[in-house]
Amino acid sequence: MLDFNDTQIAFEAKSDSELRNARLLFGTIKHPGLVKLAKLGTNIALGIHFPLGWIVKPTLYKQFVGGETIEDCARTVAGLRRFGVKSTLDYSAESEQTPEGIEATMKETLRSVDNAKGNPDIAYAVFKPSTLTTDALLAKASEHPEQLTAEEKAAHEAYHQRFLALCQRAYDNDVRILVDAEDYCFQDSIDAMTDEAMRMFNKRRAIVFATLQMYRHDRMPYLRRILEDAKEKGYTAGIKFVRGAYMEDERARAVAMGYPDPICKNKQATDDNYNQGVEFVIDNLDHFELFMGTHNEESNYRLAKLIEKKGLRHDDPRIFFAQLLGMSDNISFNLAHAGYNVTKYVPYAKVRDVLPYLIRRAEENTSVAGQTTRELNMLNLETERRKRAK
Encode the chain (390 residues) as per-residue pLDDT tens digits: 899 999 999 999 999 999 998 888 888 766 565 556 555 445 544 454 545 554 567 677 888 899 999 999 999 999 999 999 999 999 998 767 899 999 999 999 999 999 999 999 999 999 999 999 999 999 999 999 999 999 999 999 999 999 999 999 999 999 999 999 999 999 999 999 999 999 999 999 999 999 999 999 999 999 999 999 999 999 999 999 999 877 778 888 888 888 889 999 999 999 999 999 999 999 999 999 999 999 999 999 999 999 999 999 999 999 999 999 999 999 999 999 999 999 999 999 988 788 777 776 666 655 554 677 888 899 999 999 999 987
CA–CA gap between residue 31 and residue 373 (Å, rounded): 11
d(CA 171, CA 193): 15
pTM across the whole model: 0.92
Q: What is the CA radius of gyration of the chain?
A: 21
* Per-residue model confidence (pLDDT) at position 36: 60
What CATH number belongs to 7-389?
3.20.20.220
Terminal alpha carbon distance of the chain: 26
Q: How far apart are CA 4 and CA 315, in angstroms?
A: 18
Q: Are 102 and 132 contacting, i.e. CB atoms less than 8 angstroms apart?
A: yes
Residue 14 to residue 22: CA distance in whole angstroms = 9
Spans of all domains in the chain? 7-389
